[in-house]
Amino acid sequence: MISRTLEKKLIELSGYYPVVVVTGPRQSGKTTLCRMVFPQKPYVSLEAIDTQEYARTDPRGFLKEYEQGAIIDEIQHAPDLLSYLQTEIDANPESGRFILTGSQHFGLSQSISQSLAGRCGILVLLPPSLEELRAFPNASNDLFSVLFQGAYPRIFDQNIPAHQWLADYTATYIQRDVRQVINVGDLQPFSGFLKLCAGRTAQEINLSALGSDAGVSHNTIRSWLSVLETSYIVHRLPPWHVNIRKQVVKTPKLHFFDSGLVCYLLGIREPEQLRHHPHRGAIFESWVIAEIYKNRVHGGGVPRMFHYRETRGIEMDLLIEQGGGMDAVEIKSGATLSEDFFKNLDRFSDLWKNTDNQQALKNHIVYGGDLSQKRSKAQILSWRDVSRLVK
């Protein structure tokens, strides 16, 4: 058990709202966090079939048992319960009565918007950030090991080999969770699609190409990609296209939240393979962006993150709107600083100066080396110091 950054925000929202919902991917530590923060509250999980059936068939009787409040785990298994919970908290709106967790954001958010709008706070818990993982005594200090293992806490808490745990996680996710969300008769195409997505992390999304490679329709790919997003397996990094140039690519990039899962899906079986792997740069880029995303949402914020590319010329891996300004970030997996790292930053800075945008621009490079330093052109950040990018 490690301390999580989201704990502070969870306590804060429980003082404002009668219900706080903690959502995020399976095995990110939601249950552990909620039980640690609220040890005095009764705990009930709707994963158990009999408990789930009780909550569905007799919701009033179920809630009667928890009049003083409770932690209700995996609430998406009984979404209709939220309508009855609305009546319960309207009768007694005491702050912090119920703490709910859920793993499937789409169904959960739809039910919340219908039943608990204005009555609950919503937080997202992703797998631990690099700073949080450092609390585990067995956490690695080697970049390739960090990328290879990923960040799911059970790998570290139980000393389970990353490859073994991620294999089981993938099988469970495909066989159970996917069937619950969409009607997939043959799981083999979806499994292949998942691997194709891993090979395209940090790339712009092309639904037609994905559909052609997976052997399914464009609409099916759109649906499957939505499943991965709502389950917090991937996210889309939108393009930044304030009209400073006409020929700007307006396609989002696909990024996985967990680098270890990408490595497993790509058949990488040991950290050293990453050193010369063709996807090393893409995996590192997705990892850096996930770290910044985690630090923002675990602090209770909303990520304002984008990428930028012109059809001919300038490309920026990451743009972050924060603190009234814009941070431009170039991401390089190499361990040795090179003048080439500054090329896109210089060109984007020149472009920025020629616009009417009043935001201040700050340049950064995150790379695979160990030394952080401040240069006249940009702040250089070692991968170990990526959290400095979040204000």
CB-CB contact of 116 with 35 (8 Å): no
Mean pLDDT of the chain: 91
Give all strands of the β-sheet with 19-23 in edge-to-edge order.
43-45, 70-73, 98-102, 19-23, 120-124
The H-assigned helical ranges of 65-119 are: 81-91, 105-115
- φ and ψ at residue 298, rounded to 5 degrees: -70, -15
| pLDDT tens digits, 370-390 | 999 999 889 999 999 999 998
Reported pTM: 0.94
Confidence band of 139 (pLDDT split at 50, 70, 90): very high
Q: CB atoms < 10 A from the CB of 168, how many?
A: 12
β pairing state of 379-382 and 373-374: antiparallel
User: Where in the chain are the domains?
Assistant: 6-124, 130-282, 305-389
Whole-number pLDDT of residue 28? 95
- Cα dihedral across residues 142, 144, 146, 149: positive or negative: negative
CATH number (3.40.50.2300, 1.10.10.10, 3.40.640.10, 3.40.50.460) of 130-282 reads 1.10.10.10
Whole-number pLDDT of residue 106? 56
SS3 per residue for 315-359: EEEEEEEECCEEEEEEEECCCCCCHHHHHHHHHHHHHHHCCCCCC
| pLDDT tens digits, 181-233 | 776 666 788 889 999 999 999 999 999 999 999 888 988 899 889 889 988 99
Q: Considering only CA atoms, which of 364, 353, 359 is closest in space to residue 326? A: 359
| pLDDT tens digits, 71-85 | 999 998 888 899 999
Q: Judge whether residue 26 has pLDDT over 70.
A: yes
| pLDDT tens digits, 309-359 | 887 778 999 999 987 889 999 999 999 999 899 999 999 998 888 777 778
Whole-number pLDDT of residue 322? 87
Query: Which CATH number does 305-389 carry?
Result: 3.40.1350
CB-CB contact of 62 with 55 (8 Å): yes
Q: Indicate the range of 151-155, 184-188, 232-236, 287-291 predicted with least confidence.
A: 184-188
| pLDDT tens digits, 1-20 | 799 999 999 999 999 999 99
Q: Considering only CA atoms, which of 118, 110, 14, 119 is closest in space to residue 70? A: 14
β pairing state of 325-332 and 373-374: unpaired
β pairing state of 19-23 and 43-45: unpaired
CATH topology for the 6-124 domain:
Rossmann fold (3.40.50)
Whole-number pLDDT of residue 354? 77
Give 216 or 277, the one with higher predicted confidence. Answer: 277
CA atoms within 13 A on the CB side of 211: 12
Residues whose CB falls within 8 Å of the CB of residue 58, separated by 6 or more in sequence, listed in order = none
Q: Judge whether residue 31 has pLDDT over 70.
A: yes
For the chain, the residue count is: 391
Confidence band of 248 (pLDDT split at 50, 70, 90): low
First to last CA, the chain: 26
Beta bridge partners of 212: none
Q: Considering only CA atoms, which of 67, 68, 71, 24 is closest in space to residue 46? A: 71
The whole-angstrom separation of Cα 208 and Cα 222 is 10
